[in-house]
Amino acid sequence: MVDQDVVDEDLVDEDFIELDRVEKVFDVRKKTGFLKRERRQVRAVDAISFRVARGEMVGYIGPNGAGKSTTIKMLTGILTPSGGRLRVAGIDPSRERTRLAHRIGVVFGQRTTLWWDLPLIDSYRLMHRMYRIPDARYRANLGRLVEPLELGDLLDVPVRQLSLGQRMRGDIVAALLHDPEVLYLDEPTIGLDVVSKAKVRESLRELNAERGTTVLLTTHDLQDIEQLCSRVMVIDHGRLMYDGPLTGLHEVGQSERTLVVDLERELPPIEAPAPARVVRVEGPRQWLAFPASESAALLVARIAAEYPLVDLSVREPDIEAVIAKMYVEQAGKAVS
Ligand SMILES: Nc1ncnc2c1ncn2[C@@H]1O[C@H](COP(=O)(O)OP(=O)(O)O)[C@@H](O)[C@H]1O
Ligand SMILES: [Mg+2]
């Protein structure tokens, strides 16, 4: 114990979360016939290395099955790595899961930590006791969290009667009652409506800015990242493909946004300034692709000046397309 306290004090803030060539291999047994099973190994996380500094807010993105949840589970100690070295606040998560639990908060978008049949407040009271949160701090935190997430009127409602968005916000409060230094969120905006998404994003921004909580956010919604994170890590097939600013990701992936234009009538393809170009025409509606790193305003102004415009909208690049492109262009140049 003495040794570990020394380790904690020596920990530099830059290395708050540390992964060195971390791996997770699952043994999967597949039924291939009557009494016949085939053993197969799935390398869900493949030699991933990164550092997260205290107070950072980092996006961790990638397509389905990329290894995001597996990484989060190793960071909480739920899963033990098959190889490599992993530390959170100087602690080896799988060896000291309980000690780490007091310092981290985790929200899994796909399942709740709240008690289904109990009123929301009862779950919080249970957390209060489970984490031995001092009474004054518990009350202060509850007050501070419940209001911005608009849960004040819902505390007496059983969790099963909450909407998905309300339940998610309820989960975020539960994860923060014990003042964790780091919060992991695994797809916290999945399935949420626009209003709920905005509330979740706003409270995360505040938490990070005002309390300096380190946040690791897993998502496949690029807008979550755009609005919250200055740094993004991309994982695909268990490997770290990119680690840097989001703008850099757009450059590396050469991703494009789409401008959807509704004209007054059917017209030949719009002559747009390169590299913008029409990629699809359907009656009076036309689709133009343009680099995601460029502003849409200029393009819109040019079109509006020369064409009878009725309506328009901009579509963000699809993260899977960005990553697919990166994969082709960066093959063999993985970060780790
Ligand atoms: N408990 C498990 N047993 C076997 N395979 C698993 C298990 N958990 C995840 N996997 C596999 O590991 C890979 C990564 O999964 P996951 O980390 O859940 O991806 P993501 O969260 O990015 O969608 C997938 O191929 C998935 O099928
Ligand atoms: Mg997942």
The response to whether residue 286 sits with its C-beta less than 6 Å from ligand 1 reads no
- Beta strand segments in 115-264, E: 182-186, 214-219, 231-236, 239-244, 256-263
Q: 220: Cβ below 6 Å to ligand 1?
A: no
3-class state of residue 38 by DSSP: strand
Q: Tell me the sheet residues that pair with 215.
A: 57, 183
Confidence category of residue 36, pLDDT binned at 50, 70, 90: confident
Nearest alpha carbon, ligand 1 atom 24: 65
Report residue 6's pLDDT band, with 50, 70 and 90 as the boundaries. Answer: very low
Does residue 69 have its Cβ closer than 6 Å to ligand 1?
yes
pLDDT of residue 331: 52
User: Does any ligand 1 atom lie closer than 6 A to the CB of residue 67?
Assistant: yes
* Angle value at C-alpha 79, between 219 and 323, nearest 5 degrees: 30
Cα–Cα distance between 140 and 204 in angstroms, integer? 18
Q: How confident is the model at residue 9 (pLDDT cuts 50, 70, 90)?
A: low
241-261 pLDDT, tens digit per residue, is 899 988 777 666 667 889 999
Residue nearest (by alpha carbon) to ligand 1 atom 10: 44
Would you give the distance in Å from CA 107 to the centre of its chain? 11
Residues 6+ apart with CB under 8 A from 21: 47, 48, 49, 83, 84, 85, 336
Cα 9 to Cα 331: distance, rounded to the nearest angstrom: 41
| pLDDT at residue number 335 | 46
Q: Which are the contacts of 105, defined by CB distance < 8 A and separation ≥ 6?
A: 175, 176, 178, 180, 182, 183, 184
End-to-end CA distance of the chain: 33
| Cα–chain center distance at 106 | 12
- Say how many Å lie between the CA of residue 72 and the centre of ligand 2: 9
> Which pLDDT does position 222 carry in this prediction?
77
Calculate how far, in angstroms, residue 27's C-alpha sits from the geometric centre of ligand 2. 18
Give me the mean pLDDT over the 19-23 stretch: 97
Dump pLDDT digits (tens) for 64-87: 899 999 999 999 999 999 999 999
Pairwise CA distance, residues 22 & 66, whole Å: 14
**Which atom of ligand 1 approaches the CA of 62 most closely?**
22
Cα(44) to ligand 1 centroid in Å equals 6
Cβ atoms of 236 and 66 closer than 8 Å? yes
Task: Give whole-number Cα distances, 186 to 50, 109, 283, in Å.
Answer: 18, 6, 41
| Predicted confidence (pLDDT) at residue 1 exceeds the cutoff of 60 | no
Which residue do the tokens 């309390």 mark? Answer: 211
pTM of the model: 0.80
Would you say residue 8 has pLDDT above 70?
no
**Which residue owns the Cα nearest ligand 1 atom 7?**
26
